[in-house]
Structure 1
Protein backbone atom coordinates (compact mmCIF):
# COMPACT_ATOMS: atom_id res chain seq x y z
CA UNK A 1 0.00 0.00 0.00
CA UNK A 2 1.47 3.34 -0.95
CA UNK A 3 1.24 6.55 1.05
CA UNK A 4 -1.56 8.87 -0.08
CA UNK A 5 -3.97 6.08 -0.95
CA UNK A 6 -7.59 5.54 0.02
CA UNK A 7 -6.18 3.17 2.61
CA UNK A 8 -4.46 6.13 4.29
CA UNK A 9 -7.77 8.01 4.38
CA UNK A 10 -9.43 5.02 5.99
CA UNK A 11 -6.68 4.78 8.63
CA UNK A 12 -7.01 8.51 9.26
CA UNK A 13 -10.77 8.13 9.75
CA UNK A 14 -10.39 5.17 12.12
CA UNK A 15 -7.82 7.02 14.24
CA UNK A 16 -9.85 10.24 14.40
CA UNK A 17 -13.24 8.68 15.12
CA UNK A 18 -12.48 5.48 17.02
CA UNK A 19 -9.04 6.15 18.60
CA UNK A 20 -8.00 3.00 16.75
CA UNK A 21 -4.47 2.10 17.91
CA UNK A 22 -4.12 -0.64 15.30
CA UNK A 23 -4.88 1.87 12.53
CA UNK A 24 -2.35 4.24 14.11
CA UNK A 25 0.34 1.54 14.08
CA UNK A 26 -0.47 0.68 10.47
CA UNK A 27 -0.21 4.36 9.51
CA UNK A 28 3.12 4.58 11.32
CA UNK A 29 4.57 1.56 9.48
CA UNK A 30 3.23 2.79 6.15
CA UNK A 31 4.96 6.16 6.40
CA UNK A 32 7.89 5.63 8.75
CA UNK A 33 10.63 4.72 6.25
CA UNK A 34 9.81 7.33 3.59
CA UNK A 35 9.51 10.06 6.25
CA UNK A 36 12.75 8.92 7.87
CA UNK A 37 14.62 9.28 4.55
CA UNK A 38 12.95 12.66 4.01
CA UNK A 39 13.99 13.94 7.47
CA UNK A 40 17.50 12.62 6.98
CA UNK A 41 17.86 14.74 3.83
CA UNK A 42 17.58 17.78 6.09
CA UNK A 43 19.32 16.87 9.33
CA UNK A 44 21.80 14.25 8.06
CA UNK A 45 21.51 12.20 11.23
CA UNK A 46 19.72 8.87 11.40
CA UNK A 47 19.07 9.16 15.14
CA UNK A 48 17.73 12.69 14.88
CA UNK A 49 15.60 11.70 11.87
CA UNK A 50 14.07 8.89 13.93
CA UNK A 51 13.34 11.36 16.73
CA UNK A 52 11.71 13.86 14.35
CA UNK A 53 9.49 11.25 12.68
CA UNK A 54 8.54 9.76 16.05
CA UNK A 55 7.66 13.22 17.38
CA UNK A 56 5.44 13.86 14.35
CA UNK A 57 3.60 10.60 14.97
CA UNK A 58 3.27 11.32 18.70
CA UNK A 59 1.63 14.64 17.82
CA UNK A 60 -0.67 12.86 15.38
CA UNK A 61 -1.86 10.60 18.19
CA UNK A 62 -2.17 13.44 20.70
CA UNK A 63 -4.27 15.46 18.24
CA UNK A 64 -6.16 12.52 16.76
CA UNK A 65 -9.54 14.15 17.41
CA UNK A 66 -8.63 16.89 14.89
CA UNK A 67 -7.21 14.42 12.36
CA UNK A 68 -10.41 14.41 10.32
CA UNK A 69 -9.88 18.12 9.57
CA UNK A 70 -6.72 17.34 7.58
CA UNK A 71 -7.50 17.15 3.86
CA UNK A 72 -4.35 15.32 2.71
CA UNK A 73 -2.61 13.42 5.50
CA UNK A 74 0.35 12.49 3.30
CA UNK A 75 1.21 16.13 2.62
CA UNK A 76 0.57 16.97 6.27
CA UNK A 77 3.04 14.32 7.45
CA UNK A 78 5.80 15.36 5.03
CA UNK A 79 5.33 19.07 5.78
CA UNK A 80 5.35 18.34 9.54
CA UNK A 81 8.62 16.41 9.20
CA UNK A 82 10.11 19.17 7.06
CA UNK A 83 9.07 21.86 9.54
CA UNK A 84 10.39 19.94 12.55
CA UNK A 85 13.70 19.30 10.78
CA UNK A 86 14.07 22.97 9.86
CA UNK A 87 13.08 24.00 13.38
CA UNK A 88 15.80 21.74 14.76
CA UNK A 89 18.39 23.19 12.36
CA UNK A 90 17.44 26.73 13.34
CA UNK A 91 17.54 25.84 17.05
CA UNK A 92 20.99 24.31 16.71
CA UNK A 93 22.03 27.24 14.49
CA UNK A 94 23.68 24.88 12.06
CA UNK A 95 22.17 26.84 9.23
CA UNK A 96 19.92 29.87 9.17
CA UNK A 97 18.06 28.35 6.26
CA UNK A 98 18.35 25.33 4.05
CA UNK A 99 17.40 25.12 0.42
CA UNK A 100 16.46 22.14 -1.70
CA UNK A 101 19.86 22.24 -3.33
CA UNK A 102 21.54 21.68 0.05
CA UNK A 103 19.68 18.45 0.81
CA UNK A 104 21.31 15.03 0.78
CA UNK A 105 18.75 12.58 -0.53
CA UNK A 106 19.01 8.84 -0.19
CA UNK A 107 16.96 6.68 -2.50
CA UNK A 108 15.58 3.28 -1.73
CA UNK A 109 16.37 0.49 -4.15
CA UNK A 110 14.10 0.56 -7.18
CA UNK A 111 14.43 -3.16 -7.92
CA UNK A 112 11.68 -5.05 -6.15
CA UNK A 113 9.54 -6.57 -8.88
CA UNK A 114 10.41 -9.42 -11.27
CA UNK A 115 10.60 -7.19 -14.36
CA UNK A 116 13.19 -4.96 -12.75
CA UNK A 117 15.15 -7.96 -11.50
CA UNK A 118 15.64 -9.02 -15.13
CA UNK A 119 17.78 -5.94 -15.73
CA UNK A 120 21.46 -6.68 -15.87
CA UNK A 121 23.79 -5.69 -13.05
CA UNK A 122 25.50 -3.26 -15.40
CA UNK A 123 22.24 -1.50 -16.21
CA UNK A 124 21.30 -1.34 -12.53
CA UNK A 125 24.69 0.14 -11.71
CA UNK A 126 24.30 2.76 -14.42
CA UNK A 127 20.86 3.75 -13.15
CA UNK A 128 22.08 3.89 -9.56
CA UNK A 129 25.10 6.03 -10.48
CA UNK A 130 22.92 8.34 -12.58
CA UNK A 131 20.50 8.84 -9.67
CA UNK A 132 23.35 9.43 -7.22
CA UNK A 133 24.81 12.08 -9.54
CA UNK A 134 21.55 14.04 -9.84
CA UNK A 135 21.55 17.52 -8.32
CA UNK A 136 19.88 17.49 -4.87
CA UNK A 137 16.66 19.17 -6.02
CA UNK A 138 16.25 16.71 -8.91
CA UNK A 139 17.01 13.80 -6.63
CA UNK A 140 14.45 14.94 -4.03
CA UNK A 141 11.72 15.42 -6.63
CA UNK A 142 12.57 12.07 -8.25
CA UNK A 143 12.52 10.33 -4.85
CA UNK A 144 9.19 11.77 -3.74
CA UNK A 145 7.44 11.05 -7.04
CA UNK A 146 9.04 7.82 -8.25
CA UNK A 147 9.93 6.16 -4.95
CA UNK A 148 7.40 7.48 -2.45
CA UNK A 149 4.61 7.55 -5.06
CA UNK A 150 3.44 11.08 -4.32
CA UNK A 151 1.56 13.22 -6.82
CA UNK A 152 2.99 16.42 -8.31
CA UNK A 153 0.53 18.55 -6.32
CA UNK A 154 1.57 16.86 -3.07
CA UNK A 155 5.28 17.34 -3.81
CA UNK A 156 4.55 20.97 -4.68
CA UNK A 157 2.98 21.51 -1.25
CA UNK A 158 5.66 19.55 0.61
CA UNK A 159 8.64 21.31 -0.99
CA UNK A 160 6.87 24.64 -1.47
CA UNK A 161 7.77 24.82 -5.16
CA UNK A 162 5.58 25.12 -8.24
CA UNK A 163 4.25 22.15 -10.18
CA UNK A 164 6.10 23.53 -13.22
CA UNK A 165 9.38 23.36 -11.27
CA UNK A 166 8.60 19.78 -10.28
CA UNK A 167 7.85 18.90 -13.88
CA UNK A 168 11.13 20.50 -15.01
CA UNK A 169 13.19 18.82 -12.28
CA UNK A 170 11.67 15.41 -12.99
CA UNK A 171 12.29 15.88 -16.71
CA UNK A 172 15.95 16.74 -15.99
CA UNK A 173 16.28 13.69 -13.72
CA UNK A 174 14.71 11.32 -16.25
CA UNK A 175 16.80 12.76 -19.09
CA UNK A 176 20.04 12.26 -17.13
CA UNK A 177 19.05 8.74 -16.10
CA UNK A 178 18.04 7.93 -19.68
CA UNK A 179 21.34 9.25 -21.01
CA UNK A 180 23.29 7.22 -18.45
CA UNK A 181 21.59 3.97 -19.45
CA UNK A 182 21.73 4.59 -23.19
CA UNK A 183 22.94 1.14 -24.14
CA UNK A 184 21.91 -1.15 -26.92
CA UNK A 185 18.92 -2.97 -25.42
CA UNK A 186 18.84 -5.42 -28.36
CA UNK A 187 22.13 -6.85 -27.12
CA UNK A 188 20.56 -7.44 -23.71
CA UNK A 189 17.53 -9.16 -25.22
CA UNK A 190 19.69 -11.45 -27.36
CA UNK A 191 21.87 -12.56 -24.43
Structure 2
Protein backbone atom coordinates (compact mmCIF):
# COMPACT_ATOMS: atom_id res chain seq x y z
CA UNK A 1 0.00 0.00 0.00
CA UNK A 2 1.40 3.39 -1.04
CA UNK A 3 1.07 6.48 1.08
CA UNK A 4 -1.92 8.70 0.40
CA UNK A 5 -1.46 10.86 -2.70
CA UNK A 6 1.41 8.74 -4.02
CA UNK A 7 1.54 6.51 -7.07
CA UNK A 8 4.31 4.54 -8.77
CA UNK A 9 5.03 7.29 -11.31
CA UNK A 10 5.42 9.83 -8.51
CA UNK A 11 7.92 7.59 -6.77
CA UNK A 12 9.90 7.00 -9.97
CA UNK A 13 9.94 10.77 -10.60
CA UNK A 14 11.23 11.39 -7.06
CA UNK A 15 13.98 8.80 -7.46
CA UNK A 16 15.04 9.96 -10.91
CA UNK A 17 14.92 13.74 -10.58
CA UNK A 18 15.32 14.37 -6.84
CA UNK A 19 17.51 11.49 -5.62
CA UNK A 20 14.75 10.85 -3.09
CA UNK A 21 15.64 7.86 -0.92
CA UNK A 22 12.21 7.96 0.73
CA UNK A 23 10.63 7.35 -2.68
CA UNK A 24 12.98 4.41 -3.16
CA UNK A 25 12.00 3.01 0.25
CA UNK A 26 8.31 3.27 -0.62
CA UNK A 27 8.93 1.56 -3.95
CA UNK A 28 10.80 -1.25 -2.18
CA UNK A 29 8.05 -1.68 0.40
CA UNK A 30 5.36 -1.78 -2.28
CA UNK A 31 7.02 -4.37 -4.53
CA UNK A 32 8.95 -6.41 -1.97
CA UNK A 33 6.27 -9.03 -1.12
CA UNK A 34 5.66 -9.77 -4.80
CA UNK A 35 9.36 -9.93 -5.63
CA UNK A 36 10.09 -12.11 -2.62
CA UNK A 37 7.58 -14.71 -3.78
CA UNK A 38 9.24 -14.78 -7.19
CA UNK A 39 12.78 -15.11 -5.81
CA UNK A 40 11.84 -17.66 -3.16
CA UNK A 41 9.98 -19.81 -5.69
CA UNK A 42 13.27 -20.22 -7.56
CA UNK A 43 15.74 -20.36 -4.67
CA UNK A 44 13.79 -21.84 -1.74
CA UNK A 45 16.10 -19.88 0.54
CA UNK A 46 15.15 -16.73 2.48
CA UNK A 47 18.58 -15.10 2.56
CA UNK A 48 19.31 -15.79 -1.11
CA UNK A 49 15.88 -14.48 -2.09
CA UNK A 50 16.54 -11.27 -0.18
CA UNK A 51 19.96 -10.97 -1.80
CA UNK A 52 18.43 -11.31 -5.27
CA UNK A 53 15.95 -8.53 -4.52
CA UNK A 54 18.32 -6.15 -2.74
CA UNK A 55 20.78 -6.28 -5.62
CA UNK A 56 18.04 -5.21 -8.05
CA UNK A 57 17.08 -2.17 -5.98
CA UNK A 58 20.75 -1.29 -5.43
CA UNK A 59 21.28 -1.24 -9.20
CA UNK A 60 18.06 0.72 -9.68
CA UNK A 61 19.40 3.38 -7.29
CA UNK A 62 22.75 3.44 -9.08
CA UNK A 63 20.99 4.09 -12.40
CA UNK A 64 18.37 6.40 -10.86
CA UNK A 65 19.03 9.23 -13.31
CA UNK A 66 17.87 6.93 -16.11
CA UNK A 67 15.13 4.96 -14.37
CA UNK A 68 12.47 7.26 -15.87
CA UNK A 69 13.22 5.42 -19.13
CA UNK A 70 11.78 2.17 -17.72
CA UNK A 71 8.41 1.73 -19.41
CA UNK A 72 7.01 -0.94 -17.08
CA UNK A 73 8.61 -0.88 -13.62
CA UNK A 74 6.68 -3.95 -12.48
CA UNK A 75 7.90 -6.04 -15.40
CA UNK A 76 11.43 -4.66 -15.04
CA UNK A 77 11.66 -5.53 -11.35
CA UNK A 78 10.08 -8.98 -11.70
CA UNK A 79 12.32 -9.91 -14.63
CA UNK A 80 15.45 -8.57 -12.91
CA UNK A 81 14.71 -10.51 -9.73
CA UNK A 82 14.11 -13.71 -11.72
CA UNK A 83 17.41 -13.22 -13.53
CA UNK A 84 19.26 -12.62 -10.26
CA UNK A 85 17.62 -15.63 -8.65
CA UNK A 86 18.69 -17.90 -11.48
CA UNK A 87 22.29 -16.67 -11.27
CA UNK A 88 22.31 -17.38 -7.54
CA UNK A 89 20.68 -20.76 -8.13
CA UNK A 90 23.43 -21.77 -10.54
CA UNK A 91 26.04 -20.80 -7.95
CA UNK A 92 24.24 -22.91 -5.37
CA UNK A 93 24.10 -25.87 -7.75
CA UNK A 94 27.84 -25.67 -8.40
CA UNK A 95 28.56 -25.60 -4.67
CA UNK A 96 26.69 -28.86 -4.03
CA UNK A 97 27.59 -32.38 -5.20
CA UNK A 98 25.17 -33.56 -7.88
CA UNK A 99 24.57 -36.84 -6.11
CA UNK A 100 23.97 -35.32 -2.70
CA UNK A 101 20.95 -36.86 -1.00
CA UNK A 102 20.35 -33.55 0.76
CA UNK A 103 19.13 -31.97 -2.48
CA UNK A 104 15.38 -32.44 -2.44
CA UNK A 105 13.24 -33.09 -5.50
CA UNK A 106 12.16 -29.46 -5.82
CA UNK A 107 15.78 -28.31 -5.97
CA UNK A 108 16.52 -30.96 -8.59
CA UNK A 109 13.67 -29.64 -10.72
CA UNK A 110 15.01 -26.10 -10.47
CA UNK A 111 18.47 -27.41 -11.29
CA UNK A 112 17.08 -29.05 -14.42
CA UNK A 113 15.72 -25.69 -15.57
CA UNK A 114 19.14 -24.09 -15.14
CA UNK A 115 21.10 -26.76 -17.01
CA UNK A 116 18.70 -27.45 -19.88
CA UNK A 117 20.88 -25.38 -22.21
CA UNK A 118 23.86 -27.75 -21.89
CA UNK A 119 23.35 -29.27 -25.34
CA UNK A 120 22.67 -27.36 -28.60
CA UNK A 121 19.61 -29.53 -29.22
CA UNK A 122 18.09 -28.78 -25.83
CA UNK A 123 18.95 -25.09 -26.19
CA UNK A 124 17.06 -24.94 -29.48
CA UNK A 125 14.11 -26.82 -28.02
CA UNK A 126 14.06 -24.54 -25.02
CA UNK A 127 14.04 -21.34 -27.08
CA UNK A 128 11.45 -22.68 -29.49
CA UNK A 129 9.23 -23.88 -26.68
CA UNK A 130 9.54 -20.51 -24.97
CA UNK A 131 8.30 -18.79 -28.14
CA UNK A 132 5.38 -21.19 -28.39
CA UNK A 133 4.43 -20.64 -24.74
CA UNK A 134 4.51 -16.87 -25.24
CA UNK A 135 2.23 -17.30 -28.26
CA UNK A 136 -0.05 -19.59 -26.26
CA UNK A 137 -0.38 -16.86 -23.63
CA UNK A 138 -1.33 -14.28 -26.27
CA UNK A 139 -3.97 -16.70 -27.58
CA UNK A 140 -5.66 -17.03 -24.19
CA UNK A 141 -9.03 -15.33 -23.66
CA UNK A 142 -8.40 -11.88 -22.21
CA UNK A 143 -9.60 -12.70 -18.70
CA UNK A 144 -7.52 -15.90 -18.54
CA UNK A 145 -4.48 -14.09 -19.87
CA UNK A 146 -4.69 -11.31 -17.28
CA UNK A 147 -5.04 -13.83 -14.46
CA UNK A 148 -2.13 -15.91 -15.77
CA UNK A 149 0.12 -12.86 -16.05
CA UNK A 150 -0.72 -11.58 -12.57
CA UNK A 151 -0.29 -14.93 -10.83
CA UNK A 152 2.42 -16.67 -12.87
CA UNK A 153 4.47 -13.69 -14.08
CA UNK A 154 3.98 -11.06 -11.39
CA UNK A 155 3.82 -13.53 -8.50
CA UNK A 156 0.58 -12.22 -7.02
CA UNK A 157 -1.51 -14.41 -4.73
CA UNK A 158 -5.06 -15.31 -5.75
CA UNK A 159 -6.34 -12.71 -3.30
CA UNK A 160 -4.06 -9.97 -4.65
CA UNK A 161 -4.91 -10.79 -8.26
CA UNK A 162 -8.61 -10.80 -7.38
CA UNK A 163 -8.27 -7.33 -5.85
CA UNK A 164 -6.41 -6.11 -8.94
CA UNK A 165 -9.17 -7.39 -11.25
CA UNK A 166 -12.09 -6.65 -8.92
CA UNK A 167 -13.23 -10.28 -8.84
CA UNK A 168 -13.39 -13.05 -6.23
CA UNK A 169 -10.30 -15.18 -5.44
CA UNK A 170 -12.26 -18.26 -6.56
CA UNK A 171 -12.72 -16.64 -9.96
CA UNK A 172 -8.96 -16.15 -10.20
CA UNK A 173 -8.38 -19.80 -9.29
CA UNK A 174 -10.89 -20.98 -11.90
CA UNK A 175 -9.52 -18.72 -14.63
CA UNK A 176 -5.94 -19.82 -13.93
CA UNK A 177 -7.01 -23.46 -14.17
CA UNK A 178 -8.67 -22.75 -17.52
CA UNK A 179 -5.56 -20.91 -18.77
CA UNK A 180 -3.22 -23.76 -17.84
CA UNK A 181 -5.48 -26.36 -19.46
CA UNK A 182 -5.71 -24.33 -22.67
CA UNK A 183 -1.94 -23.86 -22.80
CA UNK A 184 -1.36 -27.54 -22.08
CA UNK A 185 -3.68 -28.48 -24.96
CA UNK A 186 -2.05 -26.01 -27.35
CA UNK A 187 1.51 -27.07 -26.51
CA UNK A 188 0.97 -30.83 -26.38
CA UNK A 189 1.13 -31.44 -30.18
CA UNK A 190 4.44 -29.57 -30.45
CA UNK A 191 6.09 -31.51 -27.65
CA UNK A 192 4.82 -34.78 -29.07
CA UNK A 193 6.29 -33.84 -32.44
CA UNK A 194 9.63 -33.40 -30.69
CA UNK A 195 9.29 -36.94 -29.28
CA UNK A 196 10.15 -35.52 -25.86
CA UNK A 197 9.85 -38.40 -23.39
CA UNK A 198 9.94 -35.86 -20.58
CA UNK A 199 6.70 -34.36 -21.89
CA UNK A 200 4.71 -34.00 -18.68
CA UNK A 201 7.66 -32.74 -16.62
CA UNK A 202 8.77 -30.38 -19.39
CA UNK A 203 5.38 -28.73 -19.76
CA UNK A 204 4.98 -28.41 -16.01
CA UNK A 205 8.40 -26.76 -15.66
CA UNK A 206 7.91 -24.31 -18.47
CA UNK A 207 4.38 -23.28 -17.61
CA UNK A 208 5.84 -22.04 -14.32
CA UNK A 209 9.31 -20.88 -15.30
CA UNK A 210 9.42 -20.04 -19.01
CA UNK A 211 10.26 -16.39 -18.25
CA UNK A 212 13.54 -17.36 -16.63
CA UNK A 213 16.51 -16.86 -18.95
CA UNK A 214 17.98 -20.11 -20.30
Residue 176 of structure 2 corresponds to: 170
Instruction: Report the RMSD for the aligned CA atoms in angstroms.
Output: 3.8
Residue 156 of structure 2 corresponds to: 144
Equivalent residue pairs, number: 121
Q: Relative to total residues, which structure has the larger helix share, 1 or 2?
A: 2
- Once the two structures are superposed, the pairs formed by residues 37-56 of structure 1 within 5 Å of their partners are 37-56=37-56
Cα distance in structure 2, aligned partners of 1:149 and 1:27: 19
Tell me, which stretches of 5 or more residues in structure 1 are unaligned? Answer: 100-136, 153-167, 176-191
Cα distance in structure 2, aligned partners of 1:141 and 1:72: 17
1:125-172 C-alpha deviation (Å, 9 max, x unpaired): xxxxxxxxxxxx9995395374454989xxxxxxxxxxxxxxx97143
Cα distance in structure 2, aligned partners of 1:59 and 1:139: 25
Give the structure-2-normalised TM-score: 0.47
State the shift of 1:73 in Å: 0.5
Residue 84 of structure 1 corresponds to: 84
State the shift of 1:174 in Å: 10
Cα distance in structure 1, aligned partners of 2:45 and 2:151: 17
Give the structure-1-normalised TM-score: 0.52
Tell me, which stretches of 5 or more residues in structure 2 are unaligned? Answer: 95-110, 116-147, 166-173, 182-214
Does the 8 Å contact 2:151/2:158 carry over to 1? no
